[in-house]
Amino acid sequence: MFGYIRPLQGELKVRELQRFKARYCGLCHALGRKYGVWARFLLNYELVFLSMLLYDEAKPHNIIHKRCIASPLKRKKCSADDSALDLCAGLTVILAYWKLCDAVNDEAFFRSIPHRIVLILIKRAYNKAKSDYPKFDFRVTVQLNELHTYEKADGVSIDEAADKFAAIFNDVDMSDDNNIKRRVLHEVMYHLGRWIYLIDALDDLPGDLKYNRYNPILNRYPQAVDKLSEDRNLINTTLTHSNNLIASAFELLPITTWTDIIKNIIYLGMPHTCEQALKMNLRNKLYERPL
């Protein structure tokens, strides 16, 4: 699922990269512990980022060593279990399930067979995640239904389409007693969801054009698939604006053990991803893993 919210690894300090890898492994283990082995294949950068963003700074970050399928002989550094990892594990399963359902609806039958198989494999994990976070699952279905209705009507407003998807991330339940911090986190989450939707649409342009699928950018800017199109400057402006709003809101949050890594992602990783997407040079790089 996705894979856009990534650090620019070459700019991370060694200790920062090690902590990022530990968090990545921590979410993988949380997925396996809570939802089974198949859920671990749903691991993605977006929810690793979210697990750092929602981390309770009042608690120390503990590193433990664990073995896994990817490293059965050597123990690797891994974030110890915490509430943010548990929450993000559930959100990972729910979001992946509905994204796969969306892919099944969009694709022809034979092209959708791989997605159908994965849906069968993660169905039990989804049912448990839905039971753990029923409010979030309900909001995802509501927002996606509204988005599908808009897409079927061939809506041409990029902002309206992105808003319906961004509302999904904005509906994440922040279990924080600090009202100001909770409001800031919601602001970050909303614009993060908006940015993900737009960058995903940009990255899908060639495929959506080939298979005649709905794409909000293609509907608004029919020539956007042309690398020399001036419309790309407008798309870049929209993405940069969302990125800047994420940065502005994030700067209001207290400093945590993850602050430097999150800053790398917001100020370096996301602009780099945007640059590659505008060059139509991102799809083959999406699933690079840091481990």
Eight-state DSSP code of residue 255: P
Q: Collapse the DSSP code of 65 into the 3-class scheme (helix H, G, I; strand E, B; otherwise coil) and give the result.
A: strand
Let me know if residue 278 belongs to a domain: yes
Cβ 76 vs Cβ 68: under 8 Å: yes
Nearest to 21 by CA among 59, 53, 52: 52
15 conformational bin, left if phi > 0, alpha if psi -120 to 50, beta if neither? alpha
Q: What span, in angstroms and rounded, lies between the C-alpha atoms of 69 and 195? A: 33
What local confidence, expressed as pLDDT, does residue 175 receive? 61
Q: What span, in angstroms and rounded, lies between the C-alpha atoms of 137 and 140? A: 5
Residues sharing a CB contact under 8 Å with residue 151, sequence separation 6 or more, in sequence order: 161, 214, 216
Domain that holds residue 117: 9-285
Let me know if residue 167 belongs to a domain: yes
Let me know if residue 14 belongs to a domain: yes
Burial class (CB in 10 A: 0-12, 13-18, 19+), 234: middle
Let me know if residue 249 belongs to a domain: yes
Let me know if residue 3 belongs to a domain: no
What local confidence, expressed as pLDDT, does residue 265 receive? 97
Q: What span, in angstroms and rounded, lies between the C-alpha atoms of 8 and 52? A: 16
How many domains would you assign to the chain? 1
pLDDT along the chain (291 residues), means of 10: 86 94 95 95 94 84 86 87 93 95 86 93 96 93 90 81 88 68 90 93 86 86 68 87 96 92 97 89 52 52
Let me know if residue 27 belongs to a domain: yes
Question: Does pTM top 0.85 for this prediction?
Answer: yes
Let me know if residue 275 belongs to a domain: yes
What local confidence, expressed as pLDDT, does residue 281 receive? 66
Let me know if residue 291 belongs to a domain: no
- In the chain, what is the straight-line distance between the N-terminal and C-terminal CA atoms, in Å? 17
Nearest to 261 by CA among 1, 23, 2: 23
Nearest to 82 by CA among 69, 63, 97, 67: 63
Q: Collapse the DSSP code of 157 into the 3-class scheme (helix H, G, I; strand E, B; otherwise coil) and give the result.
A: coil
Nearest to 53 by CA among 262, 245, 251, 197: 262
CATH code (residue 183): 1.10.600
What local confidence, expressed as pLDDT, does residue 178 receive? 65
In single-letter form, the type of residue at position 145 comes to N
Q: What span, in angstroms and rounded, lies between the C-alpha atoms of 2 and 49? A: 12
